[in-house]
Amino acid sequence: MRTKTGVAVQIARSSDASKRRRIPLSVMVSIAWIVVVLLVALFADQIAPFHYTSLNLPDRLIGPFDPQHWLGTDELGRDVLSRLVYSVRISVVVALAATVISAILGTTLGFMAAHFRGPVEHVILVLIDFQAAMPFLVLSLSVLAFFGTGLPLFIALMGLYGWERFARVARGLALSAAAQGYAGAVRQLGASPRRIYLRHILPNVLSTLIVLMTLTFPEIILMESSLSFLGLGVQPPMTSLGNMVGYGREYMTRAPWIMLAPAALIVLTTLSISLLGDWLRDGLDKGLR
């Protein structure tokens, strides 16, 4: 027969579990905003009322809430809303591709350090320390100024941002998996190192890497915006959020909407992804439960 204390403890545990499963309102709003941003990026051609390069000099610097131009026009009469829609596509593509590159590169090097140990591990750790010590903005400015500002090179350069985090985490988790014994047991059964890391270790550490990707993604958006703001990122005729902010700063006093619209979108998007990443970290990290 159950005692009242045991029933109360069980009710308290079930209440705590339901609270953990409940999604906070801020996270729900963040998810909704991220979905909207992704849909805008996917269907930019159908959503944008004008092409982002369409010029109309008689309609230059029209203010927001115009019947034909909801967010106004810029100094060349281009529709700000249309440019904003296409800018979302470019910024999301750059940030997503760079995050995937960074995650794959860092995880691969982290697994290599955990597997080979010795000189290979030492070299990888030196590279990690070098990447962590080098200001990435200075490195990016040097590379882009020397090699040019093509989009493939820019994406590849952004892919080098934050890879040392993935390498550290992947190496630590791989060493922990080896210490737990299941990786060694699979090795004793004749599995190859590739199969061990891809089929057994990677699925167990994937949740942590996904959380790290959600934290890296907004940082890459901000980095892309900073470089585009300085004129070394996405180049005309293509447009990005940072590119729009960079060109809009010259009209801050006369037409602030040119800069404020993409700046607000950058803030909302990075904030939403950061909130989602924090919630995923709290839910997936067993050490925080």
- 16 or 87, higher pLDDT: 87
How much is the pLDDT for 43? Answer: 92
Q: How far is CA 189 from CA 178, 183, 184, 193, in A?
A: 15, 10, 9, 12
Q: How far is CA 148 from CA 142, 144, 156, 198, 234, in A?
A: 10, 5, 13, 36, 11
Contact 105, 159 (CB under 8 A): yes
How much is the pLDDT for 34? Answer: 92
Asked if residue 252 has pLDDT above 70, the reply is yes
| % pLDDT > 90, the chain | 18
Quote the CA–CA distance of 174 and 279 in Å, as a whole number: 24
Quote the CA–CA distance of 150 and 73 in Å, as a whole number: 27
Asked if residue 101 has pLDDT above 90, the reply is yes
The predicted model gives 253-271 an average pLDDT of 89
Asked if residue 282 has pLDDT above 80, the reply is no
Which tens digits make up the pLDDT trace of 36-95? 999 999 998 899 888 888 888 888 888 888 888 888 888 888 999 999 999 999 988 999
The predicted model gives 197-202 an average pLDDT of 78
Q: Which domains does the chain have, with CATH numbers?
A: 44-288 (1.10.3720.10)
How much is the pLDDT for 32? Answer: 94
Short-list 148, 144, 105, CA closest to 128? 105
The predicted model gives 209-213 an average pLDDT of 86
Work out the pLDDT band at 1, boundaries 50, 70, 90. Answer: very low
The predicted model gives 147-152 an average pLDDT of 80
Which tens digits make up the pLDDT trace of 223-245? 888 888 877 888 878 888 888 88
| % pLDDT > 70, the chain | 86
DSSP state for residue 199 in the 8-state scheme:
I
- 156-170, 176-190, 193-207, 235-249: the lowest-pLDDT one: 176-190
The predicted model gives 249-271 an average pLDDT of 88
DSSP element (H, E) containing 62 = none
Long-range pairs, 146-151, Cβ under 8 A, ≥24: 149/232, 149/233, 149/235, 151/94, 151/234, 151/235, 151/238
Strands (E), 117-239: none
Quote the CA–CA distance of 197 and 202 in Å, as a whole number: 6
Within 10 Å of residue 85's Cβ, how many Cβ atoms?
Answer: 22
Asked if residue 258 has pLDDT above 60, the reply is yes
